[in-house]
Copies of this chain bind each other. A is one copy, B any other.
Amino acid sequence: MDHTADELAVIVERANAQGRIVLVCEHASNTIPERFENLGLSTDQQQAHIAWDPGALALARGLSERLDAVLIHAGMSRLIYDLNRPPHAAGAMPARSEVYDIPGNAQISPAERLARTNAIYLPFHDRLRHEIARRLALGLDPVLVTIHSFTPVYFGQQRAVEFGVIHDADPRLAQAVVEAAPENLITRLNEPYSAADGVAHTLAVQATPMGIANVMLEVRNDLIADPAAQSAMAERLAPVLARALARISPPQAGQ
């Protein structure tokens, strides 16, 4: 990986925020560093949901501002490395995503898999882990909230759900978010997918073993397609998160 790619591995905003929430956006960007030659994808494909979660970063920024929450996000496409997958997962550097082949990922050598792991996965997760550890050491009560968007049509099927709330082993915060969600937003627990689909890696590796509450939020991307809609959704969801946080039991003391 060149130096430019390295710097894109992890970006931190509002580093000195005082709120309890640590926001994460693993699929914030569709940037593909030059050396990857667009992974052989068309311009349209590079704009599509396979390359990133459209609207998710803007929504995460809106929540960060409203909740005074630190935001840690990716600077390059999940097709280079999907930060929500471990290094040995096929989906970490997918050769195919939904109905699209990814030519640049068709033949990844073990050395290239290791290089991307070292340049992207480890710096991102180290930085996030250090942020959480810092707050734990200081006796603060961090919680982890990851922000995603999903495509309205997947493998040709229309998805009715608008707001998906996904948990790993600890369902506390997810259940509280569902209970606090607006009535006029079609909200579902563990839809359009769940931890059983392998989508809860960031929660499982960063939050569950530390005993901190956590949730993965998924917003249908047609609802956050432009800046006005992104801002409006942040305005709707910020109080949902605040209410949910107030409802869950305080963290258990470590042993």
Query: Contact at B90–A198, with CB atoms within 8 Å?
Result: no
Asked whether any CB of chain B lies closer than 8 Å to the CB of A159, the reply is no
**Which residues on B sit within 8 Å (CB–CB) of A90?**
253-255
Query: Per a CB cutoff under 8 Å, which of B91, B129, B134, B210 touches A255?
Result: B91
User: Roughly how many angstroms separate A204 CA and B137 CA in the complex, as a whole number?
Assistant: 18
Asked whether any CB of chain B lies closer than 8 Å to the CB of A86, the reply is yes
Stretch of A8-16, A23-31, A68-76, A109-117 on the interface side: A109-117
Chain A at the B interface: mostly helix, strand, loop or mixed? helix
Query: Per a CB cutoff under 8 Å, which of B87, B130, B137, B197 touches A88?
Result: B137
Which residues of A131-159 are within 8 A (CB) of B? Answer: 133-134, 136-139
**Which residues on B sit within 8 Å (CB–CB) of A133?**
86-87, 117, 121-122
**Which residues on B sit within 8 Å (CB–CB) of A201?**
209
**Which residues on B sit within 8 Å (CB–CB) of A255?**
85, 89-91, 197-198
User: Roughly how many angstroms separate A197 CA and B254 CA in the complex, as a whole number?
Assistant: 10
User: Roughly how many angstroms separate A37 CA and B226 CA in the complex, as a whole number?
Assistant: 60
Q: 0/1 per residue, A55-70, Cβ < 8 Å to B?
A: 0000000000000000
Query: Contact at A254–B86, with CB atoms within 8 Å?
Result: yes
Task: Name which residue of chain B comes closest to A125, CB basis.
Answer: B129
**Which residues on B sit within 8 Å (CB–CB) of A204?**
208-209
> Which residues of A line the B interface, CB within 8 A?
85-92, 110, 113-114, 116-118, 121-122, 125-126, 129-130, 133-134, 136-139, 197-198, 201, 204-205, 208-211, 253-255
17 new A-B contacts at CB < 8 Å, known A90-B254, A91-B255:
A85-B254, A86-B133, A86-B210, A86-B254, A89-B254, A90-B253, A110-B137, A114-B134, A114-B137, A121-B133, A122-B129, A122-B130, A197-B255, A198-B254, A198-B255, A204-B209, A209-B209
